[in-house]
Every structure is written in structure tokens, then in C-alpha cells.
Amino acid sequence: MGFSVGGYLEAIRHRDRVFDFLAPQASMNLDVSKGYILYLEDINVSFDGFKAINNLNLYIKEGELRCIIGPNGAGKTTMMDIITGKTRPDSGSAWFGQRLNLLEMDEPEIATAGIGRKFQKPTVFEEHTVFDNLDLAMAGNKNVMALLNARLNTAQKERIAEVMEMIGLADHRYQRAGSLSHGQKQWLEIGMLLMQNPKLLLVDEPVAGMTHQEMDRTAELLNSLAGRHSVVVVEHDMDFVRSIARNVTVLHQGSVLMEGTMDQVQSDPKVKEVYLGE
């Protein structure tokens, strides 16, 4: 891609676009003109003859916050493994926007294209400060930034400050990550993902082990991300799901059992049966 000075100054004037500019692959190839960011269609995966994913169809809108629930073994983690390229389905299709065929991309390509994944266990750099963790998380983009001048380094610092604010750790910027609470480490890791400016964030059981207060803060954080990012959250805690999700998808035996609001889902006899059987 070619950078023009005029284009660069234009980008500086619009902060969001500066950050798009820092992740050129994502903004260049991702086509969400139909309003959807993720399409999973007729996906099947078997492990030694056991069907973990069974004709799965799932569509995520751009900017949507979606919760996926379902009993143990429903296929939730396998579904995330397919989206991120860790597991290849036996059949079906998986598209990121209109143009990126996830089944033809490897894990690093998918991450670069703008899909970020937060695993259950936080993996922050314990010996480094909050600020340095966020700085390091941006390292992948630094080659691009080396091409640019100090103005952009200001943008870079602003972005770190903005993310620290979002994750509620602005007052802890010089604190060693290892000394943060469990909940704060989870937020820091979400912050580290945000430094990569993902278009789609996959979050696996974010509130496991959190205090009630931390859960409320996490709900606020994930809600604040929706709109600018698309967020898919896998979660067991029903109170938490109720507090964040407008749309809930119930997975069962590798397929979508139902989709709806939390009220619709919780009063559905099929869903009740599946959870009673757990």
C-alpha cells in the first residue's frame, strides 16, 4: 500500500482512522458492506467419529455483542478454534466479512486480519508494568510506525492511555502486572488485545473466578466495546450473560438450539431440558 503525506495528515485528524491505518491488512480486506462480520455455514467437525460440531450456522453482525451459552461439551470452544484457524472443519464455510475465507487462512493470518481471541487464563507479562504490557502488545505494529514521525508516537501513547482508561487500569499504569488482582489481569489482557485493534473479539469465559464487582465492571467493559468492535463471548454465568447480552445463542451438541433474548432463551422448554440434563 502507498502512504501519501496528505493521506497521513487526513488520518491524523480522525483518530479512529489512525488506528485502522495501524492495522492495514484488517481495514483493507475486511468487507462488512452487508452488515455481517462473521459467517459460519453448515460447519461439521468430528473427532474420532464423534461429531463435536454438527451443521453449525452462525452469523454475527458488525458491532454486535453476542453471548454463546450451552452445556459442557456443546462445542463452544471448538467453534472458536474454527474461527481462529486452530481447528479445520471437515466441511462447511467460514467467512470474515464478505471477502476473507477463514478456511484458507492460517492462525497468524487470521489474527492479522483482525480476529483477536482471549483465552480463559490470563497471559500477561507478570514482570512488566500495565503500561509496558500494552506497549508490548502493540509491538506487531511498530514496523509500520517506524515509517512515521513523532506525531504518530503521540497517537500511540494516546491509544495506550485510552485503553488503560477503558479497562479501568489508568491508576495502575506503573504497577507490575503480576501484582494485579485476577480480574484486573483479565482486563489487562483484553486491553492487550485491543492494542491490536481487532475487528472481532472472541472471549472465552471472562468472568470465571471474578468477584461480583469485577463482573459488573467486565460487563461495562464488554458493552463499551460493542459498536466499534464485534464481540463474541462464551460464558457460563447466567447472571452475567443477562447483564450484557441482547442476543444469546444456545449451542447444544454442536448445533444452534435457539437464538433470542435472555428472557426468550431462559423460558424456552428445549433450553431448560438441555440444562437440566447437565
Residue number, 74 or 225, with CB nearest to ligand ADP: 74
- 84 counts as binding Mg ion under rule CB under 5 A: no
Measured distance CA(103)–CA(38) in Å, rounded: 13
- 77 counts as binding Mg ion under rule CB under 5 A: yes
- 141 counts as binding Mg ion under rule CB under 5 A: no
Least separation in angstroms between residue 241's CB and ligand ADP is: 14
Site for ligand ADP in 64-103 (CB under 6 A): 70, 72-78
Least separation in angstroms between residue 215's CB and Mg ion is: 19
**Quick one: CA dihedral 235, 55, 47, 114, positive or negative?**
negative
Query: Using an 8 Å Cβ cutoff, are 141 and 194 in contact?
Result: no
Query: Using an 8 Å Cβ cutoff, are 116 and 110 in contact?
Result: no
CA 44 to chain centre: 23
Measured distance CA(251)–CA(132) in Å, rounded: 38
- 198 counts as binding ligand ADP under rule CB under 6 A: no
Residue number, 49 or 269, with CB nearest to ligand ADP: 49
Give the residue at shortest CB distance from Mg ion. Answer: 77
Residue number, 84 or 197, with CB nearest to ligand ADP: 84
Least separation in angstroms between residue 260's CB and ligand ADP is: 19
Stretch that binds Mg ion, among 70-78, 90-98, 210-218, 238-246 (CB under 5 A): 70-78
185 binds, among ligand ADP, Mg ion, none (CB under 5 to 8 A by kind): none
| Helical segments of the chain, H only | 5-13, 15-22, 24-29, 76-83, 107-113, 130-137, 142-146, 150-166, 182-195, 212-225, 238-244, 262-266, 269-276
Stretch that binds Mg ion, among 68-76, 168-176, 225-233, 239-247 (CB under 5 A): 68-76
- 208 counts as binding ligand ADP under rule CB under 6 A: no
Least separation in angstroms between residue 77's CB and ligand ADP is: 3
Measured distance CA(10)–CA(114) in Å, rounded: 23
Query: Using an 8 Å Cβ cutoff, are 231 and 65 in contact?
Result: yes
Residues near ligand ADP (CB under 6 A):
47, 52, 70, 72-78
